[in-house]
Structure 1
């Protein structure tokens, strides 16, 4: 099958705004590719005629023909003499490597089942099998998984959630060996700064900024945070936390910043009790995710705090923890795209597999807004 080149996702997709003006013919490319990507135009289905596209986009026939010729060149559509232009079949063919390895830090709880479901359904629709593994967020398990994949000959690509992505990884050698073998690699939820690999994730900095602004808008001025130091999302969310405080002209104290790691979360509430000691001057706290926020609520209440009256709290991911609540507190949170993120990662991976040596930017970051619940107390100004 001819290689597929990812279209410029600038104008059509509302999740990313780059401020770049899109060429007229690319408007047609973007629109048609989005329809194909989402299944609104299926393999073998006829695309709108040149006249219809000219009318829709107020473009000349020459411009529309140029757009279609680019899609034909990239293998997304094919022209049949006397019949029109049809969507090409992007499914894995017989004899091709048709396995995509999917590696997440965890599998069966929190946001992970929905993300995996989105990946699996999209891969299956295109004729790919999913090889699922989980690393338990440990570099040793990640190394074992990557070594196993390196020894296989049927894996076309890897959708990988990096392990402890804020820290230098000892597994860079395996990533590079897999790349040299021609295996496509796409990271999800985070990325390794030392590897130039595409990723599909939240825009963690902007989402954290939105979360902290919800506290600022409620009148809070002394806002602390509890963030993970070993995952890259923690670094990016700290960036958003700082930006919100600085733009609002609020005082910043590093005494109110608390860093925890994966082991702290597994080991229970000791680290959260220590965090509370550093938050006693604060009226609000921004937490790395809903899991961390839920544990923080329990520690606050055990120490006589009323949530949100004495300490307001915001999480991220809009998980079941946020929606169902913790001891009567339903969390204000930023939603994680979950299944949509999985679908987008799988769509981009399929394109990476089929695009050959044609380069495109498969990185995509979702923008999300705050879902307000009863974990924020509105202070009088």
Structure 2
């Protein structure tokens, strides 16, 4: 890692942790040189990048300060937060993270819920356009694996100079060809998990225990499902394994509401698998129930890993290995990055969390 990047990362951690708050003065160039054993030119380069990103503000003759992004008098202070659901699973903690960070910065929150319906999403976006009152929008996409019928409204909102930030996922057609090495480019940024890498780690944990017949239960109408399938493919390809379509189960949102017709599919396709990777803990709980009905035990008969590490992962019997969703931290970062976009439209606001698996014993070695 370049020396200047060490300085950037350190200052970023001080800001995100609250050790350096809005308006606080950062250490001088000389202090940074001593702390990191770097030249003054390197320290100046690091500070310059953070100033360009809007994280720091340089005041001639005074020093460099953490940019104060709290809402100013006369500025719009309402943020629209549009999520799919609210009352269960990971959503309350994510919304709590958004609300606490925005409140800290002086913004109020107006909550909307789509219930994962693109029709409802369109109604909400139309209302926001008609009122033209918000300073920015945090939007959790609806069925993000499918072509979105509301891109015209999102384009109109962007043309009104109202910043939009996707949360948890993104609409590919609106993401501007995002490059993880460079950040967001000419599109709507997102704050989410790195679903591909997370799924890779989950499936890798099965492979490392000797499993080769690994089934998948994934969602087909959310972008996360496609990205998690890509992570699955990357992991098995390292072992020169080819994907077996007969062991892959694709579900959509309606399937999860009416589970009866998916039971036979799960029973049939996982019948000769030694392990299964589940889209999330909600799906894993359904799979566990079906396997239990067939007297198949975890991990004795079949190992299981999942995603999100929600309360369900701890409450199922047995508790399951799962990749954590950052929940509150993701909400805080989404709020923080949107506010930074409001003050600095050129800020590269895309951020993806990478997490490590929580092991609880639902995978056995074979």
TM-score by length of 1: 0.87
Secondary structure of 2:89's match?
A: coil
- Determine the structure 2 residue equivalent to 1:254: 245
1:310-329 → structure 2 map (5 Å cutoff): 310-325=301-316, 328-329=317-318
Residue 251 of structure 1: CA displacement? 4.5
- Asked if structure 1 preserves the Cα contact closer than 8 Å seen for 2:47 and 2:56, the reply is no
Which of 301, 326, 339 pairs up with 1:350?
339
Residue 65 of structure 1: CA displacement? 4.6
Quick one: structure 1 residues 276 and 98, their matched pair in 2 at CA, closer, same or farther if it must change by over 3 Å?
same
Quick one: structure 1 residues 80 and 87, their matched pair in 2 at CA, closer, same or farther if it must change by over 3 Å?
farther
Which of 344, 352, 366 pairs up with 1:365?
352
Q: Distance in 2 between matches of 1:234 and 1:75?
A: 33
Quick one: structure 1 residues 75 and 343, their matched pair in 2 at CA, closer, same or farther if it must change by over 3 Å?
closer
- Determine the structure 2 residue equivalent to 1:93: 72
Query: CA RMSD for the aligned pairs?
Result: 2.0
Which of 223, 234, 253 pairs up with 1:232?
223
Between stretches 30-39 and 342-351, larger displacement belongs to: 30-39
Q: Distance in 2 between matches of 1:272 and 1:235?
A: 22
Residue 86 of structure 1: CA displacement? 3.6
1:1-381 → structure 2 map (5 Å cutoff): 22=2, 27-65=6-44, 67-68=46-47, 74=54, 76-79=56-59, 81=61, 84-196=63-175, 197-325=188-316, 328-356=317-345, 359-379=346-366
- Asked if structure 1 preserves the Cα contact closer than 8 Å seen for 2:340 and 2:347, the reply is no
Secondary structure of 2:135's match?
A: strand
Secondary structure of 2:92's match?
A: helix
Q: Distance in 2 between matches of 1:235 and 1:118?
A: 26
Give the aligned length: 353
Quick one: structure 1 residues 237 and 99, their matched pair in 2 at CA, closer, same or farther if it must change by over 3 Å?
same
Residue 62 of structure 1: CA displacement? 4.8
Q: Distance in 1 between matches of 2:339 and 2:351?
A: 14
- Asked if structure 2 preserves the Cα contact closer than 8 Å seen for 1:273 and 1:299, the reply is no
Secondary structure of 1:194's match?
A: helix
Q: Distance in 2 between matches of 1:49 and 1:227?
A: 51
- Asked if structure 1 preserves the Cα contact closer than 8 Å seen for 2:28 and 2:63, the reply is yes
- Asked if structure 2 preserves the Cα contact closer than 8 Å seen for 1:225 and 1:257, the reply is yes
- Structure 2: tracts of 5 or more residues without a match: 176-187
TM-score by length of 2: 0.90
- Determine the structure 1 residue equivalent to 2:182: none
